[in-house]
Every structure is written in structure tokens, then in C-alpha cells.
Amino acid sequence: MKNTLSQGLYNRIRKIIENARGNIARAVNTEIVVAYWHIGREIVEEEQNGKSRADYGASILKNLSVKLTMDFGKGFDESNLRNIRYLYLTYPKCDALRHELSWTHYRILIDTASMIENTIAGKKGGGIAKKARLELEEQTGKKVVTAGNSLPPSKVIKKLRQSQV
């Protein structure tokens, strides 16, 4: 039997399949990030229990981690739930999430912001970051909510430089 399959046809079909797989992966990543944002919101709202600030002694992450891991497998350890919580605190508006970024990208951003916050707090004391956040809130008339209730790293650094002049 003669091989009648043209290389052009095969290449076009191969390209369609590869594009579809790429689109599926991006859609899954987007849905995971959006789902994690909603989970983060639920955690924050439960922790705050109707108050404007959370009672930090009342942590639900450990118990939630055990139950979610039993039901859904890995991916819901305390550390990841903390990152999921920070995702919501860092991006309080779901529309601010970038669909081009995966959960891995957001974890890196959250970890980097946390490291910068901890470095600044360690060197200068936590008061400067809090003072900068409060000043920005006063100037803009908007509440600044990010991971650890501090400013985004770029704004913390800018405020620190301004306060040292």
C-alpha cells in the first residue's frame, strides 16, 4: 500500500494539536490561580470573622491543610495555604490577577515580597514599613493590603528612601 499522507497535512494537524494543548495548559493555570484567590479570600474572611483584622492566634491553616490533603491530595500543605492566603491579601481584586502568570509565578512574587519585607523589618524594625504603609494610605485615601499587611516591596523601598533624606 502506497503512503499517501503528505508531510504538509501531518505538520498542519500536528501544529493544531500542539496549539490546543498549549491553550489547555494556560486555561488550567488561569483556573488554578483564580481558584486559589477564592480560597485565599475564604481563609482571610474566616480568620477575620467579621472583624477588620484577624486574630493571629486563631489559625485555621493546619486543620484545613489536613482535610484538604485527605480529599484532594498534595498541594494543600500549610505553606501552600499560607501562600494562597497571601495571594488574596496581595491582590485583593481578582481582576488584578494576570492570566499570563501561573501559580508558580505568583509563588515566586509572594516569596520575593516576603523576603524583602522581612529584610527591611529586620534592618529597620517593623515600624518603618508600617509607617510607610499608613502614610501611603493617608495620602491616597485607600487601604493598602498586601502579604503581611505591608506595602508592596517597591513602595516600601521608595518610602524608606524618602524617609532617610
Using one digit for the tens of pLDDT, what is the confidence trace for 37-77?
Answer: 999 999 988 887 766 566 654 578 888 999 999 999 998 99
18 vs 157 pLDDT, higher one? 18
Cα–Cα distance, 92 to 136 (Å, whole number) = 17
CA 14 to each of CA 7, 10, 26, 45, 145: distance values in angstroms, whole numbers, following the listed order: 10, 6, 19, 47, 46
2 pLDDT tier (thresholds 50, 70, 90): low
pTM more than 0.75 = no
CA 80 to each of CA 68, 147, 162: distance values in angstroms, whole numbers, following the listed order: 12, 14, 35
Contact 33, 101 (CB under 8 A): yes
Domain limits of the chain? 8-101, 112-165
Give me the pLDDT at residue 131, please: 62
Angle at 130 between CA 119 and CA 62, to 5 degrees: 70
Using one digit for the tens of pLDDT, what is the confidence trace for 77-97?
Answer: 998 998 999 899 888 899 889
